[in-house]
Copies of this chain bind each other. A is one copy, B any other.
């Protein structure tokens, strides 16, 4: 099977089937996995989505809504269903998915929908809604496979098989005492391999990884990935078992955090939706551009200061643009490498120090090579070796500043507890613009006039 990619023929077929009756539509959709239908939804109208959800089997319908990209608003579909249908679909959903989608509605609407559910489901979802969505509590599913440590192998297996009707996946089994305190974990493998007479408490692994409900989701993702876990239990401050987070939730978190880093480093607000409309995009990017404009005035004021020099040596204007542009790009390179490195691993002080030193060296060499090329050009084209020397020096100096600023700013931010990706290319290019102009025009004033 190939990974599902939207192609024209799929969309064409579904759109044709939408013209036909429900039976033909269902027959066609039965060829697709729920997650594929969720992707197809991105190209369909809201009306078509609602019609499909209404005729799909309950189990598939609830999975499609759970898998829908939040950018195409799964909560709208839920909102527009009849109360009975909605209750049926929400009851089919995993609690964490239900809570995620319901949380997108207004508080009054949330209450109305929760009141339609049975009391236990409603209170579980209400509980999940209290956690911040970026924490372990917001990510966890409260349906968790757990057995009491006092059970025998036979009793535990029966309990596991019974629970597995409700819980889709069961990788690791959590072991609790009579007060629902998490005492350890046990693998199904170890239960199966053990003798018949054994009690679960004899099999328990008490050296295991868990998280508190308020742990940041990025931290959860790091733990799961570092220890190669399929799931991780979530507890409260008294070690009561609250839920578990599975690897598939964490893969989504990883992609989300990577998106945030990539956007932030490019001067885009982390919460801009990739497929959002132009109004959202303007709201997300305009503040950064205005900040950039402020710093651009600074760079322009350097140029104004040296206006007499520029007036006497007008060819400097072209070289000026060249040195600023090169500095900006070299700084972006150093920034991307450093931010990515910090987000994958924490650096010790000595690693941080040697990173900045490395970028100094890289800036010096890349600056000298590029500076030499421009020097040759100035020599041959403008027949002015001293001008060449000024440009060579400014290029080298600016690329050193680019490397040092591009690496040290995110490192310092991380040290003082600020997200290093905020050191976007916008902030960094200010340095290289201002210093590039200062170096070139300052040296030119000294040496060429």
Q: Which residues of A contact B (CB under 8 A)?
A: 1-6, 8, 11, 33, 35, 39, 42-43, 69, 157, 160-161, 164, 169-171, 188-189, 192-193, 208-210, 219, 222-228, 230, 247-248, 250-252, 254-255, 258-259, 261-263, 265-268, 272, 274-275, 277-278, 281-282, 285-286, 288-290, 292-293, 296-297, 299-301, 303-304, 307, 310-311, 314-315, 317-322, 324-326, 328-330, 332-333, 335-337, 339-341, 344-346, 348-351, 358-359, 361-362, 365-366, 369-370, 373-374, 377, 425-426, 429, 433, 437
Contact = CB atoms under 8 A, between A and B. Distances in A.
B322 A297 contact: yes
A337 B171 contact: no
A186 to B, nearest CB: 14
A337 B281 contact: yes
26 contacts: A3-B226, A8-B349, A42-B345, A42-B351, A161-B192, A161-B193, A164-B192, A164-B193, A171-B171, A225-B255, A247-B248, A254-B254, A258-B258, A262-B340, A268-B333, A274-B340, A278-B358, A278-B362, A285-B366, A290-B370, A293-B373, A293-B374, A300-B318, A300-B319, A325-B328, A329-B429
Q: Which of A209, A265, A317 has the most chain B CB atoms closer than 10 A to its own CB?
A: A317
Contacts of A429: 325, 328-329
A366 B258 CA distance: 26
B303 A318 contact: yes
Contact of A304 (B290, B307, B315): B315
Nearest to A5: B346
Contacts of A332: 266-267, 332, 425
Given A285-B330, A337-B274, A366-B286, A293 B322 contact: yes
A288 B227 contact: no
A285 to B, nearest CB: 5
A321 B437 contact: yes
A32 to B, nearest CB: 11
A265 B258 CA distance: 14
A211 to B, nearest CB: 8
Contacts of A259: 340, 344
B317 A310 contact: yes
A366 B328 contact: no
Contact of A1 (B210, B228, B290, B337): B210
Contacts of A346: 5-6
Given A258-B258, A325-B433, 14 more contacts: A42-B351, A164-B193, A224-B251, A225-B248, A228-B248, A254-B255, A263-B337, A266-B333, A290-B369, A292-B326, A296-B325, A299-B318, A303-B317, A310-B317
Contacts of A340: 259, 262-263, 274
Q: Which of A43, A300, A301, A437 has the most chain B CB atoms closer than 10 A to its own CB?
A: A300
Nearest to A306: B317
Contact of A289 (B1, B219, B255, B366): B366
A23 to B, nearest CB: 22
A204 to B, nearest CB: 16
Nearest to A399: B289
